[in-house]
Structure 1
Amino acid sequence: MLVDRTVLPKIGYMYGFTTAKGQRAAVVAHRDGRRDLVLFDHSAPDRTRHTVALTGGEPGTVAQLLGSPVVIDHVAHLTQDLADAQAPGLQAIRVPIPATSPYAGRALGDLGSRTGACVVAVLRGDRTVTAPPATFGLRHGDAVVAVGDASALAAVRDLLTGD
């Protein structure tokens, strides 16, 4: 299934998709964490037919019911969560793995403890692997989500990109 992401200024993002049966739907991810499940009219794809507003833990529960893992949506939200938790100096980054990366084709554990950062997820295509094990093989096109202080994250970026 192809999912298209649209920026909604001052609101968040809309993730739209069409099912195999031609039904058009979307999830609107608001900046405040709320999620709306939107179903569009089949005869007029730009017209909303139904909207279901999900708040609190409801989006996660629906994701579990649908058999999907919880996806790290925005690294910016993770960063804000760290700031809200009063974790001074902690930041989060997303580092894409280029074809030229010395870590493409290697295990995540090869990074070792050389950086002082913690890899919390690897984004691969439409999947999110949370808390990947050291044996997890990195590939060109993956993106690594790491948490740490500025110097640790700079070291992760430098190692993964080969700079």
Structure 2
Amino acid sequence: MSLIRETDLPGIGKKFEINARSGDKMVIVVHDDGRREIHHFDNDDPEESISMVTLDDTEARRISGIIGGLAYVPKALESVEVAFDNMVFEWYKVESSAKAIGKTIGELHIRKKTGAMVIAVIKKDHKIINPGPEQVVSEGATLVVIGERRQVKLCKELILNGGL
């Protein structure tokens, strides 16, 4: 299983370190100004960067679409695309100003009010896959939400405002 480690870089942005199943190591730095740096490391010396690419925000989004299968879907995955044709996944970090902090997914009636589903809650020390209605929304947690774009937007509003 590949491992992705996320680190805040105060005044710069965020760093994502990926150790792929293949043994490759990659570091992506997302700068606050939208630039992305992608570093690829030598398998034999994981501290030695062997290449680096810098992308602006538009380029990074286009490339993520290619990698994510928006431009071309391999034949083996076409059936998956049908199932998720109108669906989007979004990662939403619960900021300290969110009114939903301390409430459960069930109390918020997220699915009933928005149509979106929280499929995972990622906290610093652990991940909760397929959280139940008793799962409390906590500050700093990242909610992985799936639904149609409109539903996901409503879910974010619900978390921020504590109700619709």
Shorter-normalised TM-score: what interval?
A: 0.5 to 0.7
How far apart in 1 are the matches of 2:100 and 2:28? 25
Distance in 1 (alpha carbons) for counterparts of 2:99 and 2:46: 34
Q: Distance in 2 between matches of 1:124 and 1:5?
A: 17
2:146 to 124, 129, 142: 129
Equivalents in 1 of 2:40, 2:18: separation in Å? 10
Which consecutive segments of 4 or more residues in structure 1 shift more than 2 A? 68-76, 92-96, 104-112, 121-134, 144-147
Alignment partner, residue 136 of structure 2: none
The Cα shift of 1:108 comes to 2.7
- 1:105 Cα deviation (Å)? 9.6
Q: Distance in 2 between matches of 1:125 and 1:53?
A: 31
Which residue identity does 2:157 align to in structure 1? A
Deviation readout 1:85-137 (Å, 9 max, x if unpaired): xxxxxxx85956x7x6152795533379xxxxxx9x96735855362539x9x
Deviations 1:7-50 (A, max 9, x none): 22321111111111110012111011111111112122122211
Kindly indicate which of the two structures has a greater share of residues assigned to helix.
2
Q: For residue 101 of structure 1, what is the aligned residue in structure 2?
A: 104
TM-score between the two structures when normalised by the length of structure 2 = 0.53
User: Of residues 119, 124, 145 in structure 1, which corresponds to 2:156?
Assistant: 145
AA in 1 matched with 2:15:
M
Judged with a 3 Å threshold, the aligned counterparts in structure 2 of structure 1 residues 20 and 109 are, in CA distance, closer, same or farther, namely same
Question: Where does structure 1 lack aligned partners over 5 or more consecutive residues?
Answer: 77-91, 113-118, 137-143
Q: Say whether the 8 Å CA contact 2:29–2:38 is kept in structure 1.
A: yes
Cα distance change, pair 106–7 in 1 and its aligned pair in 2 (3 A): same
Match of 1:24 in 2: 25
User: Are 1:59 and 2:64 matched, yes or no?
Assistant: no
Alignment size in residue pairs: 121
| Distance change >3 Å, CA 60–CA 73, structure 1 → 2 | farther
SS at match of 1:64: helix
